[in-house]
Amino acid sequence: MINITLKGGTVKEYESGITAEQIAKDLGMGLYKAACVAKINGEVMDLRTPINNDCELEIVTFDDEDGKRTYRHTASHVLAQAVKRLFPKAKLAIGPSINNGFYYDFDVDSPFTPEDLEKIEAEMKKIIKEDLRLEKFEMTPEEAIKYYEDLGEIYKVELVKEHADKGENISFYKQGEFTELCAGPHIPSTGRVKAFKLTSCTGAYWRGSEKNKMLQRIYATAFTKKEDLEAYLAAIEEAKKRDHRKLGRELGLFAFRDEAPGMPFFLPKGMVLKNTLIDYWHSVHKKWDYLEISTPQIMKRSLWETSGHWEHYHDDMFTTVIEDEDFAIKPMNCPGSILVYSLEPHSYKELPLRYGELGKVHRNELSGALHGMFRVRCFTQDDAHILLAPEMIKDEVIRIARLFDEVYDMFKLPYTIELSTMPEDHIGTEEDWAAATGALADAITSIGKTYIINEGDGAFYGPKLDFHIEDSLGRTWQCGTIQLDYQLPGRFNLEYTGADGEKHTPVMIHRVVFGSVERFLGVITEHFAGAFPLWLSPVQVKVLPIADRHQPYAKEVAEKLDSLGIRVEVDDRSEKLGYKLREAQLQKIPYMLVVGDKETQEGTVSVRKRGEGDVGSMALDDFAKAALSDIESKEIW
């Protein structure tokens, strides 16, 4: 007999060799039917895994992220099996689960059509109805290579060969006639996939490299309940309406051109939006005692070698040669701040020194990864680099977290926090990393905030706290970060004089709150669906004269509002009022002021408010006072 410790601490006794699936059934049919995978001593494993020793066991359902990943990965196998049934000559690549779904890459003679996707969905439903068991087995590397070479599955052969050097057997899963190279785990059978949808098909280079063949990538999602799938698909449709690239064009904010891939063009209204956001950034950072600096765009290779970027980040940097010497366009602002600090000696009394920089950086992103404002090659990073003594870390991290709270609360953006730990490609000792990681964890928990661990995803120079904001559609975006760096100050021989009169090496905190101005603009464009708060709106008020004779008064209204700092336009086109109102509504203008004979005679305006409609007539001075109050408060409505 063995002792199984269940989630919550209950211990139950079972015969050796029992599976997690059988234990789930013993605990209740509801849990058994909902189970996706098991955690045995913290390791995610198939439900059918025999348990031969005392252990801790958790039955994982779709409500857990591991359950979702397992469920959707099994659905990707169903997709691949359906494609092979319908298109036997298709070559299989990879099919992982991803956030909110899964995809599979195929090498086919011609792109899949919408009609093809319908047929594939129908075949997937047949496979699900067949309720095929997923059975795990292994082959030696030599057997696996021969198996796939005989089938002509060139991509699978490449994947197997990568693992062959380890000398370990290769894991496979079989469902009916379909066999797939896979480490697992999986749900027990295809019949447990209840609700799915193929959402799109795009081209994707094998291994993400333009040097390789373009494959066909089918994206899909899967849920355990039909109503959850329908809700998700409805959210996707809403997201399409809010796509910042679409709204950017329609609202005249920003554009992209083939002449400068991944580098946004800000249009006049977009510049108003960007500058207003930057003005807010300036005011917040002045309040929180940051000193603003600006550092050069291009600096010598030797600087980037000292910082470690040349070794660890070179492929993502744009480089050039000036007078036979290598230079790089900066991908990050931190070395510039370090050079500013090193210009003069410092005492512990000056610390923390908080340098803020809205620095333009360039990164050589793959063209296939570019995505509107979310993934660009040129952007403005709202950086800050803080030099401080080690004993100041906790208080400073708390202080930064409170600044983040102020900014994200302003935009009604809740967040979660990830603590990213030491990657394989790191500099510095494990002792330094342990100290830095512990310092971040201690600071953030001391103010009642929680975090999840993101293993091995820290920056090469230090661990970090990543702030994932949640938009109005429930999607999350990684924007803010607090990175604790014990390495770069030492590499650049930075010093300060301590209270003991001795020289000490400071610690550096790297942090951004927006992440980048461009990315944050993309996020809030979709968050607000282009209907920006009054204080941010490129045009805050549109004045609409009913007839040509009302234009002089309309211009007087606009001049008065403009003199008060309110951004205003007059629609003086010879169009009907209804047409002008619809145009202003499509442009998401917060206030529309209609002026006709009555308003001209009385010095009033007829006010229409976005989202509310007609709110009545007001004296112009009263409207201006109310609008200025809204702008000052930065209220969101």
Cis-peptide into 185, omega within 30 deg: yes
Provide the angle, in degrees to the nearest 10, between the axes of the packed helices 141-151 and 154-164.
170
Tell the CATH topology of 66-241: Threonyl-tRNA Synthetase; Chain A, domain 2 (3.30.980)
Measured CA to CA, the distance from residue 27 to residue 22 in angstroms comes to 9
**Contact of 494 with 341, CB cutoff 8 Å:** yes
DSSP 133: B
Identify the helix (H) or strand (E) that includes residue 381. Answer: strand 378-388
For domain 541-633, give the CATH superfamily: Anticodon-binding domain (3.40.50.800)
Q: Which of 85, 510, 527, 567 is catalytic?
A: 510
What pLDDT score does 8 carry? 84
Residue type, position 226, single letter = K
CA distance 337 to 14: 62
| C-alpha 530, offset from chain centre | 19
Local mean pLDDT, 10-residue blocks, the chain (637 residues):
89 92 92 93 93 93 94 97 97 93 95 95 97 94 93 94 81 95 94 94 88 93 95 90 94 94 95 97 97 96 92 90 94 94 96 96 88 93 96 94 96 95 86 89 94 89 92 90 92 96 96 95 96 97 96 97 97 94 96 97 96 94 96 91
Given the residues 244, 274, 363, 519, the one annotated as active site = 363
In whole angstroms, give the CA distance from residue 88 to residue 82: 10
Q: Of these residues, 46, 116, 382, 383, which one is catalytic?
A: 383
Q: For the domain covering 254-296+330-527, report its CATH number.
A: 3.30.930.10
Annotated catalytic, 614? no
pLDDT value at position 435?
A: 87
Q: Catalytic residue among 334, 426, 527, 542, which?
A: 334
How far is the C-alpha of 339 from the C-alpha of 494, rounded, in Å? 9
CATH number for the domain formed by residue range(s) 2-61: 3.10.20.30
Element (H, E) at 609: strand 604-609
Three-state SS across 453-516?
Answer: EECCCCECCECEEEEEEECCCCCEEEEEEEEEECCHHHHCCCCEECCCCCEECCEEEEEECCCC
For residue 459, the model assigns a pLDDT of 85
Q: Radius of gyration of the chain from Cα atoms?
A: 29
Give catalytic status of residue 309 as yes or no. no
289 among known catalytic residues: no
Q: Are strands 214-223 and 195-205 parallel, antiparallel or unpaired?
A: antiparallel
Active-site choice (85, 377, 385, 519): 385
CA-to-CA separations, 104 to 203, 300, 466, in angstroms, rounded: 11, 43, 29
Q: Are 103 and 218 in contact (CB under 8 A)?
A: yes
Query: Is the Cβ–Cβ distance between 59 and 38 less than 8 Å?
Result: yes
User: Which residue spans within 99-207 are E strands per DSSP?
Assistant: 101-107, 135-139, 170-175, 178-181, 195-205
Q: Has 527 been annotated as catalytic?
A: no
Please tell me the distance from the alpha carbon of residue 34 to that of residue 188, in angstroms, as a whole number.
Answer: 11
DSSP one-letter code for 434: H
For the question of residue 381 being annotated catalytic, the response is yes
Q: Which of 468, 466, 486 is nearest to 476 (CA)?
A: 468
**Terminal alpha carbon distance of the chain:** 63
Q: Where are the beta strands (DSSP E) in 253-375?
A: 254-255, 265-266, 291-292, 298-300, 319-322, 325-329, 353-362
CA distance 401 to 283: 17
List b or e across 361-393, with b for residues whose CB sees 16 or more CB atoms inside 10 angstroms. Answer: bbbbbeeeeeebbbbbbbbbbbbbbbbbbeebb
Q: Provide the 10 A C-beta neighbour count for residue 342.
A: 14
Give the start-to-end residue ranges of the domains of the chain: 2-61, 66-241, 254-296+330-527, 541-633
Dihedral angle sign, alpha carbons of residues 266, 270, 273, 275: positive
d(CA 188, CA 81): 16
How is 551-578 classified by DSSP, letter by letter? HHHHHHHHHHHHHTT--EEE--SS--HH
